[in-house]
Amino acid sequence: MVKPWATFGVDLHVEPTGPGVRRGLTEALREAVRSGRLAPGTRLPSSRSLAADLGIARNTVAEAYADLVAEGWLTARQGSGTSVARRPVQAPSTTSAPGSPAHARPAYDLVPGSPDLSSFPRAAWLKASRRALAAAPNEALDYGDPRGRVELRTALAGYLARARGVRTEPEHIVICSGFVHGLMLLGQVLRGRGLTSLAVESYGLDVHWRLLERAGLRTVPLGFDELGTRTEELAAGSQGGDALGGVRAVLMTPAHQFPMGVPLHPDRRAQVVDWARRGGGLILEDDYDGEFRYDRQPVGALQGLDPDHVVHVGTVSKSLAPGLRVGWLVLPPSLAPEVVAAKGGVDWSCGVLDQLTLAEFITSGAYDRHVRASRLRYRRRRDALVARLAEQAPGVRATGIAAGLHVVLRLPPGTEQSTLRAAAWQGLAVHGLDRYRHPESSAERTDALVVGYGTPPDHGWSGALDALCAALPFDSTFNGTFNRAFDGTFNGTFHNEGVGGPFHGIESPHEQ
């Protein structure tokens, strides 16, 4: 017969040591409190419950508790049980070892890649979660389809068709836990198909290049100029014996090149699709911030031009929050079975409840409302950034501002590293453009900062701008002109895309 007290109370892991049960228990409890394993306010099990768990007499536990109450480690109140006393606990030492540098947390974070997490729609998300959970069938809580929940795949097929021009069916969508997970699956599949190399853009994220190389795929950078990535090199490479010879896949950000911010020119969009069709190639389209555009019409997904040769990869990391770990692969029908097999027999990587909630969030219209509100918020931040630059740093030009969550600030030649040091002195976390340049790229080095304006909360934006402008070189004679930047064709002249707008002399005409 099960005793009632054996199924009630709270669990506590404690191992009495030393001579005597009472003394050993007292020492073990004291050390658990002293070390911080039992935090102040933690409620302990009753003496009867703990005695039963440990197989000792109840009086032994009661006496150990009484000893620790007398010493001030525990508190006991009639009707409230026994708890760890609320007393200051010494924090672990943070003193740096001799000779090691101390890294202070930056006051402002302008590193691109994250949205304003304080604007996450908590109330709307909670409502969607409740509705989704109430409507979910019991089988939804099982291991499930490795492609992901059908509710989310169906919602995404409709949303992507409407908002991004994607053409697909739910059965050709695979849910993944972010872009990196999706790229891991694609790298595994491509290597399994016998590919040994993959073309990438001259500028991008080194974490993606390293991931592909770990999968056994060498990354070969394409050239870059004012029209975007030089896709004609793919066709030329397929006919020659250079590093691009034999390349049958390419990773691109065609809607808004990261980090340069240039949309791929329409002629080059058609060019890369034609290359894929002629040679059976595959285009991996990273649509990382396709929802955010301000001064131009949205650039549709490349996948809409040829669903049989383009993999469209998207996530909610920029539109909602990276912590959700939800992304998707829109796959050509011929590739979908291989990716599903690579993911495994069950969907081990993506939480069902978040998938169901996102499906409800999209179908209810809450996602569209959130994106539109975020678009307005980020546009205001961008406008404030451009206005502050014109006032306090007229020698620095901003490009890539027509869309996305970051801008590129062109610096006078030879000043990138000194500007980064000045930014660190101002308590500012920001990256230089050289950080995103492929090590094998032939593109000429350009001094610039890549400034993300999504991360700081609204109340911290003005202070972040003050710190940024204080770090920038003040040179009113520099007008953003580079003699040989972008293959010698870009002259650094910028024009406003809106008549009478505040951005005259800022926007590149190639971003229209």
Q: Report pLDDT for 329.
A: 98
Say how far residue 2 (Cα) sits from the centre of its chain.
50
Query: For residue 454, what are the contacts with CB-CB under 8 A and spacing of at least 6?
Result: 112, 114, 115, 116, 318, 378, 405, 406
CB-neighbour burial class of residue 154 (10 A; exposed 0-12, middle 13-18, buried 19+): middle
Q: Report pLDDT for 239.
A: 55
The two structure tokens encoding residue 328: 């998707």
pLDDT in tens, 272-288: 999 999 999 999 999 99
Residue 169, amino acid = E
Q: What element of type H or E holds 370?
A: helix 366-392
Tell whether the model's pLDDT for residue 509 goes beyond 50.
Answer: no
Q: Report pLDDT for 320.
A: 96
Percent pLDDT > 90 in the chain is: 68
pLDDT in tens, 10-46: 788 888 877 788 899 999 999 989 888 888 889 999 9
Query: For residue 389, what are the contacts with CB-CB under 8 A and spacing of at least 6?
Result: 396, 398, 409, 469, 472
Q: Report pLDDT for 5.
A: 45
Q: Report pLDDT for 312.
A: 98
DSSP state of 402: S
Q: CA neighbours within 13 Å on the CB side: how many for 275?
A: 26
Q: Report pLDDT for 354.
A: 96
Q: What element of type H or E holds 193?
A: none
Global pTM value: 0.80
Mean pLDDT, the chain, rounded, equals: 86
- Higher pLDDT among residues 143 and 386, named by residue: 386
Q: How confident is the model at residue 486 (pLDDT cuts 50, 70, 90)?
A: very low
**Which runs of E-coded beta strand occur in 40-80?**
74-77
pLDDT in tens, 64-116: 999 999 999 999 888 778 999 986 544 444 444 444 444 567 889 999 999 99
Cα distance between residue 329 and residue 178, in whole Å: 10
Of the candidates 234, 230, 229, the one whose C-alpha atom is nearest the C-alpha of residue 258 is 229
Q: Once rounded to an integer, what is the mean pLDDT over residues 379-407? A: 93
Q: Report pLDDT for 348.
A: 67
Q: Are 358 and 153 contacting, i.e. CB atoms less than 8 angstroms apart?
A: no
Place of tokens 């009639």: 78
DSSP codes of every residue in 57-115: -HHHHHHHHHHHHHHTSEEEETTTEEEE-----PPPP-PPPTTPPP-PPPSEE--TT--
Helix, strand, or coil (residue 289): coil
Residue 67, amino acid = D
pLDDT in tens, 449-470: 999 999 998 899 999 999 999 9
Q: Report pLDDT for 9.
A: 63
Of the candidates 259, 138, 243, the one whose C-alpha atom is nearest the C-alpha of residue 197 is 243
CB-neighbour burial class of residue 305 (10 A; exposed 0-12, middle 13-18, buried 19+): buried
Q: Are 401 and 389 contacting, i.e. CB atoms less than 8 angstroms apart?
A: no
**Which runs of E-coded beta strand occur in 101-225?**
108-109, 173-176, 197-200, 218-221, 224-225
CA distances from 288 to 113, 173, 258, 425, 442 (A): 9, 17, 9, 31, 25
Terminal-residue alpha carbon distance, the chain: 78
Q: Once rounded to an integer, what is the mean pLDDT over residues 43-63? A: 91
DSSP state of 403: B
Output Rg (C-alpha) for the chain, integer angstroms.
Answer: 29
The two structure tokens encoding residue 351: 């939480």
Question: Which of the residue ranges 40-44, 195-199, 262-266, 361-365 would you say has the lowest mean pLDDT?
Answer: 40-44
Residue 243, amino acid = A
CA distances from 186 to 174, 195, 303, 331 (A): 11, 11, 16, 10
Q: Report pLDDT for 349.
A: 73
Cα distance between residue 303 and residue 429, in whole Å: 35
Query: For residue 423, what are the contacts with CB-CB under 8 A and spacing of at least 6?
Result: 429, 430, 449, 467, 468, 471
Helix, strand, or coil (residue 272): helix
Q: Report pLDDT for 428.
A: 94
Q: Once rounded to an integer, what is the mean pLDDT over residues 230-245? A: 74
Of the candidates 320, 328, 372, 356, the one whose C-alpha atom is nearest the C-alpha of residue 156 is 328
Q: Report pLDDT for 88.
A: 54
